[in-house]
Structure 1
Amino acid sequence: MEDLLRQGIGLLRGMWRFRWWGLALTWVVGAAAAVVIYLMPDRYESTARVYVDTQSVLRPLMSGLAVQPNLDQQIAILSRTLITRPNVEKLITMADLDLEVSNPVQREKLIADLTKGLQVRAAGRDNLFTLAFQDGDAQRAQRVVQSLVSLFVESGLISKRQDTDAARRFIEEQIRNYEEKLTSAENRLKEFRLRNMGLLGDGGRDYVTQLAGVRTQLDQARLELREAINSRDSLQRQLHGEEPVLLPQTPNTSAVSIPEIDGRIDAMRKNLDALLQRYTESHPDVIGTRRVIEDLEAQKQQEIELRRQAGPGQFGSLNANPVFQQMRLALSETEARIASLQARVSEFEGRQADLRASAELLPKIEAELAQLNRDYDIHKRNYEGLVQRRESANISVEMDAQSGIAEFRVIDPPSLPLRPAAPNRVLLMLAAGVAALGAGGALTFLISQLRPTFADGRSLREITGLPVLGSVSKVPDPQRNVARRRDLLAFGGGLATYGLAVAAVSVALQMMQG
């Protein structure tokens, strides 16, 4: 620590020897800086404040129905990406700055200056933004800021509209794609069901239900067939064991029955009864019906006479036992029913055999059906979700168009500056004064390093490596002391005068700006 302190003192002593050189440079640098600061052109700053209101009454009311993006984040991104080359070129046209350029080089310089000078600053967390620009012409600065405000509002609205349109186009394209996929899945599922209708069943019945139903129907048909066969066998036994009972050989003609004629006579008599309920005996239809009945009875008498002449055996067949005739009729019906039931049993047996033969394909068919249903359900769910999102997007567009979810409000219009905002000559003059002092000190340090001296014998011995036998001290002299004090006063006066000069120039610059 002692060595460092000794080296520092030695360094200061060496710089003190060239203090007048440093003071002279300080005055020169300070004066030059004052002239430069005075000649710097004034720059006027125009500012405007814009508030973006993202709070709307409709937002909580339409929650869940409309798409509600993060407007705060979008506005923050817009404020950071507003200063782009396309926007700056548009701003040049809007502010009529293109009238001042005559070649591409000047235009590129103007674009670079605007890109560097335009500022969009967030003034807090409440979507309040300050737009500012500095220029040598106050009116031009105001025009630039006014154009920037219009561009900021327009970019926000166009950005929202473009995002919404792009989202709607994307959703529409996805809906068309999924609609094609859904139609294809429906067709595949329909064709699969048509190919495997026998195994898949209809009306919600599966393979097991169909097989159980066919087995039940087959058992029922077999039971009915056995019952019909037993009934037929019973009738046959009764017919073979019963002899016909014949009526006497001289029967009463009124008791003889001829089924064909008797049936017609019965029908005509029923018709006559119906006519008598509506008409009298003298009605032509009644008279005609009675005449037909009489003709039929006469025809019956003739037929009976003919059969009587043919032999008594004919009356035996005519007068056969009615129970016998009913049994033969029942036997014929039973035979027909047996044939029908046999066909039914054969059909159900064939169905059962087909279902059992297809049992091996059932797992594969069920797996394929499950996959088809799964694909169909996925496409249908995605399709319905996209349609719902499209409707939400449409509602959002209508809501934005009618109510304005994000409203841009100009709180402070672009100002026309009356006082220059830059440069701050007072601050620059103070900084230049300090910098000039630093330049003077640097000069003294540089000269002291170029022309070094030794402050004591110890430093001489350490640097040269030679032994120092002794040193000669300076004898105090009153005249030398007076000259030394005079030199100190002169140097201090020079520094004080420099400080006063810097302060005076700063005050003058302040008064000039005010």
Structure 2
Amino acid sequence: MQEILAQLFSYVWGVWRHRWLALGVAWVVAIAGWVWVWQLPEAYVASARVYVDTNSVLRPLLQGLAVQPNVESRIGLLSRTLLSRPNLEKLMRMTDLDLQVTTAREKDALLNDLQKSISLWASAKDPSLYSISVQDPDRDTAKRLAQALITVFIESSLSGKREDSSGAQDFLEEQIKEYEARLISAETRSGNFRQKHMDILGGKGGYYRNLNSARARLQQAQLMLREEENRVVELQRQIDGEDPLYVPSVSPSVAAAPQQVMPSAKPSAVDTQIEVIQQELAELKVKYTARHPEVRQLTSLLADLEEERAEEQRAERARVRAINERRKAGKPVDDLGDLSGLANSPVYLNMKKMLAESKSKV
């Protein structure tokens, strides 16, 4: 502590010893400063605050589609717009500063001075609130420059708003046309899909309603299929258990005749049915493919009838062969009977027909 006090007293003593020298230096510096300040040109600063919505009309439309500018970039954009050469020339004419220049070099120098004297910055609280300041040696000129600058600023902003509105309208029209084309394309694809899948989507109701209806029809068809299968089994059981009938077809006088018996060439009921079904099948094949249910049903029925006709023909040939053999051997044919009596029985034929129809449905 004693050392600090001793050092402090030494400093004070040194200042006191050189007090006149320090006073002289202070007077010299003060006088030089007053002279320098007196020689400085006068400068007046005119400032103004203006509220301008710099948000583009397209900003809500481009939300999430384009990068939005921040405050600094917007200030830079406004500064470049406001301090552009056309706006500075307009500002010079509005304040009559163009009357002070006569050559292009003087004009360029004046424009450069104007550009340096104008400052623009945004408020920290509200990015749309801007402050403008203009510095000029003449007070009235600074005021006129500030007023003219506000006018130019507002006109530029309104012009930008009009351009944004026009651009927004063009943008919306382009978007409407694009979505209209997409909608037409989607409707075309939807129509083609409905036309292609009319068997699934046709009728009233939606897809799931048609699906439920198709499922119900499927269950009903499966139930009918089981019924027809049971019916086929029952008819086959009845046919297999049917006893042959003895129907004399050749009288004794005919049996004694030496001529040989030939199979009958008269068409049977099965032949008639086959002919009718073949005609119907030919007509259906003109309109439908082979996978159509009606075509498949008639094809199956035709196959059963042809099999039945083949059985009848085999039975008829066997009967004729047996009769001829017994005649050659000189044996009577009265007790042979008609081996095809069962095939010609109305009940048997009706059962066979019902069996064929049931098989075709299966």
Q: Output the TM-score relative to the length of structure 2.
A: 0.45
Q: TM-score, structure 1 length as denominator?
A: 0.33
More RCO (CA 8 Å, sep 6+): 1
